[in-house]
Structures are given as structure tokens and as C-alpha cells.
Amino acid sequence: MKRLGDFFDDRTGWRALVHEALFERVPGGARWRYVWGSTLVFAFMTQVVTGLFLWASYSASSQTAWESVWYIQHEMAGGWLLRGIHHFMAQAMVVLLALHLLQVVIDGAYKAPREVNFWLGLVLMMLVLGMALTGYLLPWDQKGYWATRVATNLAGIVPFVGPQIQQLVLGGPDYGHHTLTRFFALHAGFLPATLVLFLVVHLALFRRHGLHAKQPITKPDGLFWPDQLLKDAVAMLAVMAVVLGVILVPAVRTMLAGGEVVTGELGAELGAPADPSQTYAAARPEWYFLFLFQFLKVFEGWGATGEFLGAIVVPGLVMGVMFLMPIIGNWKLGHRFNIAFTLGLFAGVAMLTGLALNEDYSALWTDRSKLGEATRLFDETDGDERKLLAAVGGDATKAAAIARQFSAVEKFRRSEAFLAAVRTARADAERAAELAGRPERIPPGGALELVRSDPLAQGPRLFAQHCGSCHAHIDPASPDAAAVLAKASAPNLHGFGTPSWMKGLLDPTRVAGPAYFGNTAHKDGDMVSFVTGDLQDEDTWKPTDIEAVIAAMAAEAGRVDSTVPAATIAHGRELVANEERCGACHRFGDNGTDLGTACDLTGWGSRVWIVGIISDPAHERFYGDSNDRMPRFGKAVDGGIAPLTDEQIGLLADWLRGEWYRR
Amino acid sequence: MKADKPVPAAEDSRRRFFAKAAAIACGGLATLAPVAAGVWTFLDPLRRKSAAATFLPVTDLSAIPDDGVPRQFAIVAERVDAWTGFPRDPIGAVYLRRQKGSKDVEALTATCPHAGCFVDLEPGARSFRCPCHNSSFTLDGEIVEPSPSPRPMDSLECRVGENGQVAVKWATFRAGIAEKVCGS
């Protein structure tokens, strides 16, 4: 062994190199405050290692990026841990950068002869932030996509060359394959290569100047190895422990609660696949850029000038001052100014971050009941002060007090909306992952295709956009049901086709209620008078008859309980078809009743039936001339553009019927 | 600064030993996590098995004239490539042939047993030849010397249904060895 060592030492001189690397003198002995630089190098090395392994499984294109990250996260053994370490170490790196910078400024380590090394450090900081920014897009999920859109649009407001810069970064006029390949090349190639270059010089200069000792020196000198390196190693281990803790603590919690740990849900989040056609109200930058996001709000109302000031001029000036610190430090009070500036900057960043978080999450800790009256008046007056004055009976003092609460109401509403958006985003993400995990896997067109053809993902959105302005869709047992139903002007479609829905329709106390025909033109129609009249005659309609009708209708919808005897359904079908009962108005199978009086009940609630009524409710099979207000959503006969495609109508029908992929 | 001066403070060598051991242990442990996670994920492909051999419908008997001449057919099947599922995708090719008056179909995979290239049928259909290293085979799939191939072309099990549908038990075999072993 020794001879082998000698052989290589003769030819490379490695022993001297190692000796020089390890036996560096540490003036005043090893100290904890010197560990930050080493932890940063460690964090960077961790990113290189985990990044290279991630690279081995990642595919940068808009049809494979999300998909390959999903595969790493949910399918590959250990992928969740690898991705988790990479994700959270990136965040740890930003924190360590801040600590390193703070320590260097406070200790005055930027002063002569170390000015150049300080500048190199600032460049390194910008490179790290650049890697954080470019890495955020790579999973091509909603979160990264929308955050990057904002960031690249800000690049577009740079004077003169902004649009060109933007187009170069995006790899074209729009977001797509080349945005990913470019961001990936930046993230894993250009930026880290540049960073390594600067890091080598940074470390070489650090060794040349020696460690900047904290004054006054009271203890004897120590050695880098093992004194300082032990402290460094402990700090590195602590950093890694924190990162692993963030990844694993949720798993431990689940286990303690007796739940089953799903490794794919641990570590870094993966949102739903990026979809330019879908609003994403939960869009926020990563937490360490939140301060910039909040800072831009200061310039709200200034238009492009404001964005230019907030995103480019002010951050540029701040960086400028930081680059000048070694020079400012030579002045009489320069060092104190530098410390004050840095601390002020950190305080400002912390404050802006706090403000941003408060705006988004305040609904979590705001006492809603205190805003009760203000909320009611806000809705009644639309926030108009003159109307408010009238609403409180001309009491100017009260009006002023309430008006002051209006901004709190608005803030609460905004925060609530954000939290709801975050919940939606999470549900979408979970759903996308669930769909991708089907045995058939992801279609060649990508996961977005899968999400777009999923009734569970699209149904609620289509319903809200096209149906929700009239129809409610809420579980009648839900506590908010009464309030939601009061606002609806058409039947509640929750559970449409199920026995319980039909039971409510045939209930004399409910048929003219808000969940059924209460808020429609059919309120005083034949069906309501039938349910409240004829159907109550127990000689003709025994309770078992009504139950049989309910079962038969649910059977038409294909949603009847398997425990219901076939004889009951058959009996119900006879009653429905009977021309002296339902069949008097309704066509059912071949009972001979003319269409046009009431809905054809053949296949009521089935997919075909629902698609039919959404496509053309005024068709004689449905409401005919007595159609209330429901517009036609399907193919227009006059050649106009239909509001919904056949696929969308099918998605709505499937969603209403509860038919979607389940694990 | 060069550390050619003696150690500033005369340290207890035992303490120094523990400091060194602790530094190595802590540093090693911290480094272990990312490396282990990386290697763990990198080895994931070893867990994946190729699909078990199954009969796949290829063509109809009428598409294979009983003249003893092999004809090439694509094997189309459902295929999963990591995250992507292809409902119907060509995954390989076979040569099918039928002797005069026979209803039995013989199948040879088009993958060369030497190095996995695609074996061509020679013009005139007298023999098979692999374009990569000139492995040559008779129409029965037997080796024509000199040939770098260690074994004859791989035959596949073939089944003709009552309706005349020809199904082939598709499998891939390891290249470059004298034995016919499943796997890729």
C-alpha cells in the first residue's frame, strides 16, 4: 500500500497536495461561525450528485417532463428520496447562502485583500439563485409553469432587448419543448459549470488569503484538519438531517397515526401537469422569491414602469451596493453601513415574505365571526360607501366603522380564495398522479391528455363554467346546502339519477323546494301538482308503489342498488309506463305516449339521456316548448359554434353520474 | 498559509484521533444520504422484468401462401415504456411460412441471435442474411457456415385458430450465446 502511494506520489506529488489541503492553519482555533462556506460546498456537491442521478431518469420535453418526474417520484425505487433531497437541499442552500453572506459582512471578511473573493461570492450567489429559478420549471407542473411564466415575462420588460432575451430563454415565441431543453441546459449545464469555475477560484483565493479570523484572537491557533473539519462535518450532517427530516417527518407522523405510508407522496411536491388553458390561482414563486413577488405589489398601479422598477431597477441597485461593499467598507463608518444595509435588507426581505404569507394565509387565523356584519353589508352594498350609509340608516359613525372593516373583508376573501385554489391544486395533483398510475399508464400524448379527458378533473370545472350559474351541485346533507340552494335557480344535480334524488323529486315537501323545481318556471307546473296532489292518494299510490317507481328510475340511470329485487324494478317500470300514472304525460319505452308533453323517461339519467338533455334541452324528448331557460349546449343546427364539444358534454355526463377512474 | 510549523498547541493524540474519526463519520454519514438515494434510484431498472411470453395474434392463414417462402409480419402489441402506455405498437417482427398443403405455420423471430440486428430475407428468398455481421441462415433458420452466429435463428411457437387466425408466442432471447434463453 505504501509503495503504491509512493509510486503515485513520485509522479503526482499528491501527498503534498493533501497535506496543503488539510493542514491549513486556523488562527484562533476552529469556530462554529466558520462552517457556512463548507456547508455550502457540501450542499452544492449534494445537488451535483442527486442532480446527476435525477438526470439519468429525467426527460426534458413538454410531453415527457412531468411524466418522467412522476415516474421518478411514484414508480422508481428511492426516487422520492432522491428528488426530495434535491428539492429541499436547494432550499437549504438559499438559507446557507444568506447565513454565509451575513457572517462575511458582519466579520468584515470582505475587506482588503479579500474584495475579489467577496465579488466572486456574490456571483456565486446569483448563480445559485439562477439554478433555483431554472430548476423550478423542470417538472413542468402547474406550479413551476406559472411561476416561470411570470419570471420570464419580467425578463421581457428589460429595456431594448427584453423581448429578445425572453424569446431566447423560452427557445421561441411560446412555451414548449425548447423552453424545457433550454432551462435544463441552463440548470444542469451552463450554470453549474460556471459555478464550478467561480467556486474553484473562490476557494483558491480563500486559501491564498487564509481564513479571516474573528477578532480578537483569544485562543491558540488550530488546524483545518481535524479541528475545523470536525465542526464543518457536524454542520453538514445537521444540514442533511434537517433536509431528511423535512422529507421523513410526515412519514413518521403517518406511521404514528397508524396510517400507511405512500412513499410517492413524500418529499418534493409534484403539481398537476402544466396546462396553459387552465387558470391556476395558486401560482406563487418558491418561498425564497416570495419577497420579490410581494415587492412588486408595492408598485401596483404603476404599470410596466412599476414592474421595471420593482423587478429590475431596485434589485439591481441593491446588488450594486453589495458589490460596492468592499469599497464602502474603507470609509470611516463604511463597515457599520454595510452591516446595517445587510441587516436592513434581510429584515426587509423577511418583512415582505411575512406580508406575502399573511396575505395568502390570513384566513386561517382570522376570526370570521367578527366580520359577520361587515361581510353582509359588503355584499349588499358592493362596498359602495354611499349605499352603505343608506344601509345603516344614515348613521355616519357606524358607516365609517363598517367601511374600515371592508378592506379586512376583502383581504379575508382573497385569502380564502387563495387557500381554496391551493386545495384545488393539491386535489388536481393527486388526481393526475392517480390517473398516471393506471395500469394502462400515460398515453403517448402525455399526461395532460389524461387529465383533460378525466370526468373527475374536468366535470366540476365545466359545471362551474356552464351550469353553475343556475344549477346547484351540492350534497343536501352538507351544512352549506341551504345557502347554496337559495342562490340556485335550477334543480340541484348532486346525485342526479340516484334513488335519493328521485325520492326527493317525489316528495311533496321538496318537489317545489329550491333543490328541485322551486326556483324554476316548473314551480307551478304539472309535475309539482302531480306530486303534491295525485301522488298523495294512498289508494292509487301505495308507499311501496312510489318506492318501486324510484327503483325503476334509478335502474334506468343504471344506479340502482343491487339489493333491490328485480320484481320491484319491474313493478316500478309498469307504473311509470302506465298511461294512467306517469305515462299519462311521460313517454316510457313503447308506452305510446306522445313526446312533447313531458320528458321521455326511457333511459332517464343514463349517459345517453344526460348527454341528450345537455345538448338540446328543448328537444321534444326533453322539455320541448316548456323548456324553462336552459340553453342548448350541443351542436347548433344553425351552424353556429356549440358552447360545448361532444367530449365536454360527455365529461359532464360522466361526472354527474360519478363515472370516472378509481384506483 | 503553509502549515510547515509544528502544531500550535500540543494536543492529546487520543483526542485528535477521536476528532478525526468523528469528522470522517459525520462527513461520511452526511454524504451517504444523497449517494445512497442516487444509487438506489439508479438501480431501479434491475427490478423491471420483460413481459412474459404470450400468444399474440399476428395475421390470418390466408396471408401466408403455402409455398414454403417465409414472409415478414410485424408483431403489434400493447407496450409500456416506463411512464408511457402504447395501446398498439409494433414491438418486433417475425418470419412466417407454410409448407405445401400444410396448415401448420412455422415462425422465426427476425432478431439475429448473434448481436440482435434485424435479419433480412435475401433477394430471391433463398436464405436469411443479417446485414450487421453477415450471419447467414437457411430458410429453416439453420446456420450456413461460415457464420458468426452461435446458434440457429430462434423459432417461436405458433398457433392457428379455428377461424384461421395465426398467433405467435412472442418472446425475446439473449443474443450472442449458443443456448436459446428468454430475455433481451
ipTM for the complex shown: 0.87
CB contact under 8 A, B27 and A236: yes
Q: Which residues of chain A have pLDDT under 50?
A: none
Question: A71 in contact with B at a CB cutoff of 8 Å?
Answer: yes
Q: How many CB pairs under 8 A join A and B?
A: 136
* Closest A-chain CA to B18: A226
Residue A220 has its nearest CB partner, among B9, B25, B82, at B9
B122 vs A42, more confident: A42
Q: Is A10 helix (H, G, I), strand (E, B) or coil?
A: helix
DSSP-derived pairing of the beta strands B54-60 and A490-492:
unpaired
Residue A314's pLDDT is 93
- In chain B, what are the domain boundaries? 13-45, 54-170
CB contact under 8 A, A237 and B80: no
CB contact under 8 A, B1 and A71: no
d(CA A204, CA A115): 14
Question: A661 in contact with B at a CB cutoff of 8 Å?
Answer: no
Neighbours of A554 (CB within 10 A): 24
CB contact under 8 A, B3 and A223: yes
Q: Which residues of B touch A (CB under 8 A)?
A: 1-3, 5, 7-9, 16, 19-20, 22-27, 29-31, 33-44, 47, 80, 82-87
Cβ contacts of A436 on chain B, cutoff 8 Å: 83
**If pLDDT is split at 50, 70 and 90, which confidence band does B1 have?**
very low
Question: A223 in contact with B at a CB cutoff of 8 Å?
Answer: yes
**If pLDDT is split at 50, 70 and 90, which confidence band does B11 have?**
low
Amino acid at B42: F
Q: Which of B13, B84, B86 has the highest number of chain A CBs within 10 A, making it the mutation to test binding with A?
A: B84
Question: A30 in contact with B at a CB cutoff of 8 Å?
Answer: no
DSSP A415: H
Q: CB pairs under 8 A, 24+ apart, for A209-214?
A: A209/A113, A209/A114, A209/A117, A210/A24, A210/A25, A210/A27, A210/B1, A211/A24, A211/A26, A211/A27, A211/A34, A212/A104, A212/A107, A212/A108, A212/A109, A212/A114, A213/A26, A213/A27, A213/A28, A214/A28, A214/A31, A214/A33, A214/A107
Neighbours of A599 (CB within 10 A): 23
Residue A637's pLDDT is 65
d(CA A236, CA B34): 12
d(CA A283, CA A145): 9
Q: Which of A15, A39, A46 has the highest number of chain B CBs within 10 A, making it the mutation to test binding with B?
A: A46
Angle at B9 between CA B8 and CA B14, to 5 degrees: 130
Q: In what order do the strands lie in the sheet with B120-121?
A: B120-121, B127-129, B136-138
Q: In what order do the strands lie in the sheet with B165-170?
A: B54-60, B165-170, B158-160
Question: A113 in contact with B at a CB cutoff of 8 Å?
Answer: no
Contact yes or no for A55/A90 (Cβ under 8 A): no
Residue A444 has its nearest CB partner, among B25, B44, B84, at B84
Contact yes or no for A392/A377 (Cβ under 8 A): yes
d(CA A341, CA A348): 10
Cβ contacts of B40 on chain A, cutoff 8 Å: 77-78, 81-82
Question: A46 in contact with B at a CB cutoff of 8 Å?
Answer: yes
A215 class by beta-carbon count within 10 Å (0-12 exposed, 13-18 middle, 19+ buried): exposed
Residue B52's pLDDT is 78
A605 class by beta-carbon count within 10 Å (0-12 exposed, 13-18 middle, 19+ buried): buried
Task: Give the CATH fold of the B54-170 domain.
Answer: Rieske Iron-sulfur Protein (2.102.10)
Instruction: Report the pLDDT averaged over residues B101-111.
Output: 91
Neighbours of A320 (CB within 10 A): 9
Residue A109's pLDDT is 92
Give me A110's grid cell.
470582505
Task: Give the CATH fold of the A26-281 domain.
Answer: Cytochrome Bc1 Complex; Chain C (1.20.810)
HSE (CB half, 13 Å, CA atoms) of B21? 6
Neighbours of A568 (CB within 10 A): 18
Residue A159's pLDDT is 85
Q: By percentage, how much of chain B surpasses pLDDT 70?
A: 93
Q: Which of B131, B63, B82 is nearest to A79 (CA)?
A: B82
Tens digit of pLDDT for each residue in A631-661?
889 876 666 788 899 999 999 999 999 999 9
Angle at A18 between CA A12 and CA A19, to 5 degrees: 115
Question: A17 in contact with B at a CB cutoff of 8 Å?
Answer: no
Cβ contacts of B22 on chain A, cutoff 8 Å: 226, 230, 233-234
Hey, CA dihedral for A212, A217, A222, A225, is it positive or negative? negative
d(CA A104, CA A600): 80
Cβ contacts of A443 on chain B, cutoff 8 Å: 84-85, 87
d(CA B92, nearest CA chain A) in Å: 19
